[in-house]
Structure 1
Amino acid sequence: MSGGVVAKAMAASTAVEEERPGRFYFNITGFPFPLGPFLERRTIRKEVEKGLIWMLEQEQALAFGNVTTNIRMTVIKLKSGGLWIHAPIAPTDECIQLLNELEAPVEYIVLPTFAYEHKVFVGPFSRKFPRAHVWVAPRQWSWPVDLPLQFFGIFGAKILRNDDKSAPWVDEIDYKILSCSVGVGPYVEVAFFHKQSKILLLTDAVIFVPEKPPEVVGKQALLSAAKNGLAVKLLSAGKEVSNDPIIDDEATRQRGWERMVLQILFLGPSNLLEPKQSFAQMSKKLIVSPIVKTLVFDKVPEKVNAWVQEITREWKFSRIIPAHFAAPVAADGRDLRVAFRFLNDLLPEEEMWASSVLLSISSLFSRASSVFPAADMKTLSSLDEFLVSVGAVKKTISGKGRQ
């Protein structure tokens, strides 16, 4: 190839890069580990219902570890013609352009949780749309220092309350708040129901792990997770770990994805060297994350039960959009109850939402589960015991103990 041809090709490539909206976003905050990527975040947009609902996703990584997944913002066009934003993500130039292409003003920005990973973007995102009104879940809290919303750049926000449905969009999007104390701090999550589409919006309460990695998760992250590093050597079920070089193929990327999922769900799974069996048990079904189950929902089963009962009784949803992993998930009230079936072992007998027979029948026809591999739960159980011993979280009490 002649030098002139090469120069033209390089110039064309540079032009394409310059035309692409910016993905730069500087973020090194987060406790105890910063949330990556630190400098660049790709955004992809998917249409759920034509001209009505979209999902925008970015990569989210736990710094200093080969653990990456997706974080999702949901956008709904209201009857007013404006946009309602659920759980905003990093407002990169690319993200804002993808929103602007919808040719509708951003009217409302909603923070549906107290969780840092979602709260941190609300301030910067709202500054991109100064005319939008911000609504936030109650009892915002941060650790180790309980910082006010203003510290995160969130000003003039209105608080969502179950007993005050004055939000101007509530006729189209209803909501129910889960607010409970699990130890030194609360757990707060707001469920939303878009009446027209029959979609339930949740943040971290449930997930659906896809068999293949989300599109936004980069190839390099998958290959890094596939390497037999220190974590794999420590969590290898006593088997010999090879140091074979990494080959970039589909099987290697899949192994990286399976390993990342198990670390996200269990922190310290029993066998990272051979993740397929545990991954198969946890993927392609609606579940509550083992971490959220163990450290939050197990502590306050009555509160969680009441919230799920109210959601499934009053809202006839057919799809769920969580803030991570796959979405939308084809699931209804029966599937949600099956995912929370573990609560039955913790509730007093008179508060159990259904007989075990009915739930067993439902689980046969449901793509949901609340059964986790016992070996993989050991690290979480040990962490739970430690946190209970230092007074950080409540002790889990069985249903009989609650009588």
Structure 2
Amino acid sequence: MRMMQQRSSGAIRASRRSVLVAARAGRQQPASQPPAKGSTVRKPSAQPPQQPAKGTVARRGRDAATTSTTGGAKLTAAERRQQAAAAAQQQAGTRAASTTAARRQAARQAGKAADEGGAATSRRPTGQEYFNVTGFPFPLGPYFTRNTLRREIERDTMWVFEQTQALEFFSVFTPVRMTVIKLASGGLWVHAPVAPTAECIRLLKELDAPVEYIVLPTFAYEHKIFVGPFSRRFPKAKVYVAPYQWSFPLNLPPQFFGIFPAGELRSDDPEAPWADEIGQKVFVPPSIGVNETVRFTEVAFFHKRTRTLLVTDAVVYVPEDPPEVIPVPALLDIARDNALARFVAGGRSRAEVAAIARPEPVEDSREARRKGWARMALLVLYFGPGDLLTPEASFAAISGRLFVGPVVETLVYSKIPKSVVEWVEDICGEWDFRQVVPCHFEAPVKAGPAEFRRAFAFAYEQAEREGLLPPRPEPQPPKPLPLPLPGFLAGLLGKLGGAAPAPAGPGGVGPRPVVFPETDMKTLNSLNNSLLALGAVKRNADLEAAAKAAAAAGLAAGAGADADGEAAKARALADAAEMEGSGAAAAAAPPQPVGAAERR
């Protein structure tokens, strides 16, 4: 009986040890049942040690070794607490792992639903990545991605590639344009390159023609910065640049920007490789300040077959609807009456602004997009327009017509009106173009020489007023008709038979197409006056150049008069010396007989 009790106690202790080993190894064993009264419990047969399965945690081996050292000792209180803590920690880790997995799964499902719906997030197209933080005086974005839009202007001949320049913090975007022309050789002529993103290069290579020439038509940094990277994508292409390249505040050569020109653009250059197909007129005005290298050069091109005029910043055309390349989220963001719109509110009081403003997000509609585009255009053109809260009137004054932007007119062209007029006349006098492709805003613009001249009416007016242009000829009256005719027929034949009066306006070009509101021009005028007061720019570089030329001519005339006087004096002295020499020789000669003198 005592032997049976000892065997039963040994079995119970063995069962407890098995439970401990299983708990430490992470396995669950069935609870051992106490032996029935009167039963016999056999000792377990000896089994060879089991090798741990491949990939199992090494901790199990350590637990087994620990168990073997404990032998048949009973669990102490400390061991029981340690066992409970380990079990609790394992259970907590399992719950945490399951919670993290659930969260990740939920996030993946939410992201998938958002991508499928297209409202929560927008999947970024590939090939648009381009990192660039550049521009003076403002850092021009986009900083990380640039969408490229290609449009065909002339079938199989001319294309435009459009991206955007942006002040992303204010949701202000404006188009920037590269023009590509296929030459008779089959190669491509690239005007004013944009950022060479993978998408842009792919769209260009789809034209299935090699890039032969890359042209930088201006000094402007926002166009110059992409020429180097673009030319590296087409190493066989030759690069030509406008003269007088400069940068501020450090005047760096083109090579610093990765530009290695094969030549410099010159007006009507017969040696230009594309001279038979594309003409060019270089605008090199006098320096308007800082130093002689600071010249606002620009080159205009004329594609003869399509009668297309290409310019950079000379003129712009603002459409009523936003261009396709402008991102819709930015249009809708600036369309709401945000803090900037409420601040630039046309002088309204805080109560008046509160009654008008709607700062909540706007729904996507044509009206909302137009309002956002109007605010963008006014900020780009004026820097600080007078009224962003209600921009309709200011936008109506500039949209739907070809004109010179107020920044270019006020800060640049007003300092060189005569040079501007001469360049415009050179363009319009020789090229009969039918459309204009600027580098910003809308293109192409249906316009000819008359509309292009009218865009520069302010320059004609200023140059005439300051005596830099000859006076206009008076219009000739129509010739009288020999016979009286009915009214409408007489008027028609009178117009055909006589010279038509010159159009109203300066220089005979007609009135200026845009009169900029004073409230919108306040910021630009203040900036211009400050630059003039500091002496940073000249008030009129053409007048200064004319004065210097007159002074030089006067000095030359004076020097010529002095030279003529000295020459006359020299001739008089020579004649006097000759006369004196003749008299002395006659006195020294012996007297001759009369007969001999007569014979001579």
TM-score normalised according to structure 2 size? 0.61
- The CA distance in 1 between the partners of 2:241 and 2:309, in whole Å, is 18
How far the C-alpha of 1:383 sits from its partner, in A, is 0.8
Of 368, 382, 385, which residue of structure 2 is paired with 1:269?
Answer: 385
1:50 alignment counterpart: 155
For 2:432, give the aligned amino acid: K
Secondary structure of the residue aligned to 1:166 is coil
- The CA distance in 1 between the partners of 2:530 and 2:328, in whole Å, is 36
Of 9, 17, 31, which residue of structure 1 is paired with 2:136?
Answer: 31
Q: 1:362 to 1:81 in 2, by over 3 A?
A: farther
Say if 1:318 and 1:331, in contact at 8 Å, map to a contact too. Answer: yes
- The CA distance in 2 between the partners of 1:248 and 1:101, in whole Å, is 37
Does residue 1:383 correspond to 2:527, yes or no? Answer: yes
Say if 1:226 and 1:253, in contact at 8 Å, map to a contact too. Answer: yes
For 2:148, give the aligned amino acid: T
Does residue 1:66 correspond to 2:66, yes or no? Answer: no
Secondary structure of the residue aligned to 1:146 is coil
Map Cα deviations across residues 371-395 of structure 1 (whole Å, 9 max, x no partner).
Answer: 2222211211111001111222221
Q: What are the within-5 Å matches in structure 2 for residues 155-304 of structure 1?
A: 155-162=260-267, 164-180=269-285, 181-184=287-290, 185-239=294-348, 240-241=352-353, 242-250=357-365, 251-304=367-420
How far the C-alpha of 1:246 sits from its partner, in A, is 1.7
Map Cα deviations across residues 25-53 of structure 1 (whole Å, 9 max, x no partner).
Answer: 00012223211000000001000111000
Map Cα deviations across residues 244-291 of structure 1 (whole Å, 9 max, x no partner).
Answer: 302122222211110111111111111111111110110000010000
Say if 1:346 and 1:398, in contact at 8 Å, map to a contact too. Answer: no
Bigger mean CA offset, 386-395 vs 192-201 = 386-395
Q: What are the within-5 Å matches in structure 2 for residues 124-163 of structure 1?
A: 124-162=229-267
How far the C-alpha of 1:225 sits from its partner, in A, is 1.9
How far the C-alpha of 1:235 sits from its partner, in A, is 1.7
- The CA distance in 1 between the partners of 2:157 and 2:438, in whole Å, is 18
How far the C-alpha of 1:355 sits from its partner, in A, is 7.1
How far the C-alpha of 1:224 sits from its partner, in A, is 2.4
For 2:289, give the aligned amino acid: G
- The CA distance in 2 between the partners of 1:342 and 1:38, in whole Å, is 37
Say if 2:319 and 2:442, in contact at 8 Å, map to a contact too. Answer: yes
Q: What are the within-5 Å matches in structure 2 for residues 272-351 of structure 1?
A: 272-348=388-464, 349=467, 351=469
- The CA distance in 2 between the partners of 1:362 and 1:395, in whole Å, is 21
Q: 1:295 to 1:228 in 2, by over 3 A?
A: same
Q: 1:398 to 1:94 in 2, by over 3 A?
A: closer
- The CA distance in 2 between the partners of 1:344 and 1:81, in whole Å, is 41
Structure (1 or 2) with the greater helix fraction? 2
Map Cα deviations across residues 199-224 of structure 1 (whole Å, 9 max, x no partner).
Answer: 00000000000101110000121122
How far the C-alpha of 1:78 sits from its partner, in A, is 0.2
- The CA distance in 2 between the partners of 1:395 and 1:8, in whole Å, is 62
Map Cα deviations across residues 332-387 of structure 1 (whole Å, 9 max, x no partner).
Answer: 00001111001133113561686797343899x99971422222112111110011
Task: Say which structure, 1 or 2, has more relative contact order (CA 8 Å, 6+ apart).
Answer: 1
Q: 1:135 to 1:366 in 2, by over 3 A?
A: same
Q: 1:173 to 1:368 in 2, by over 3 A?
A: farther
Secondary structure of the residue aligned to 1:387 is helix
- The CA distance in 2 between the partners of 1:208 and 1:303, in whole Å, is 23
- The CA distance in 2 between the partners of 1:9 and 1:279, in whole Å, is 37
Q: 1:369 to 1:128 in 2, by over 3 A?
A: same
Secondary structure of the residue aligned to 2:280 is strand
Secondary structure of the residue aligned to 2:178 is strand
Bigger mean CA offset, 343-352 vs 169-178 = 343-352
Aligned residues: 395
Secondary structure of the residue aligned to 1:175 is strand
Say if 1:236 and 1:272, in contact at 8 Å, map to a contact too. Answer: yes
TM-score normalised according to structure 1 size? 0.90
For 1:216, give the aligned amino acid: V
Structure 1: tracts of 5 or more residues without a match: none
2:504 alignment counterpart: 360
For 2:250, give the aligned amino acid: V
Say if 2:131 and 2:143, in contact at 8 Å, map to a contact too. Answer: yes
- The CA distance in 2 between the partners of 1:389 and 1:297, in whole Å, is 18
Does residue 1:116 correspond to 2:221, yes or no? Answer: yes
For 1:382, give the aligned amino acid: S
Bigger mean CA offset, 348-357 vs 145-154 = 348-357
- The CA distance in 1 between the partners of 2:231 and 2:381, in whole Å, is 31
Structure 2: tracts of 5 or more residues without a match: 1-107, 475-500, 548-600
- The CA distance in 2 between the partners of 1:353 and 1:41, in whole Å, is 50
How far the C-alpha of 1:238 sits from its partner, in A, is 2.2
Q: Percent identity?
A: 50
How far the C-alpha of 1:243 sits from its partner, in A, is 4.8
- The CA distance in 2 between the partners of 1:131 and 1:224, in whole Å, is 43
Say if 2:415 and 2:542, in contact at 8 Å, map to a contact too. Answer: no
For 2:523, give the aligned amino acid: T
- The CA distance in 1 between the partners of 2:114 and 2:165, in whole Å, is 33
Map Cα deviations across residues 130-172 of structure 1 (whole Å, 9 max, x no partner).
Answer: 0000000000011111111111111244111227442111111
Secondary structure of the residue aligned to 1:36 is coil
Say if 1:162 and 1:176, in contact at 8 Å, map to a contact too. Answer: yes
- The CA distance in 1 between the partners of 2:405 and 2:232, in whole Å, is 32
Say if 1:219 and 1:253, in contact at 8 Å, map to a contact too. Answer: yes
- The CA distance in 2 between the partners of 1:389 and 1:304, in whole Å, is 24
Q: 1:398 to 1:166 in 2, by over 3 A?
A: closer
- The CA distance in 1 between the partners of 2:237 and 2:511, in whole Å, is 38
Q: Which has the larger radius of gyration?
A: 2
Structure (1 or 2) with the greater strand fraction? 1
- The CA distance in 2 between the partners of 1:106 and 1:178, in whole Å, is 26
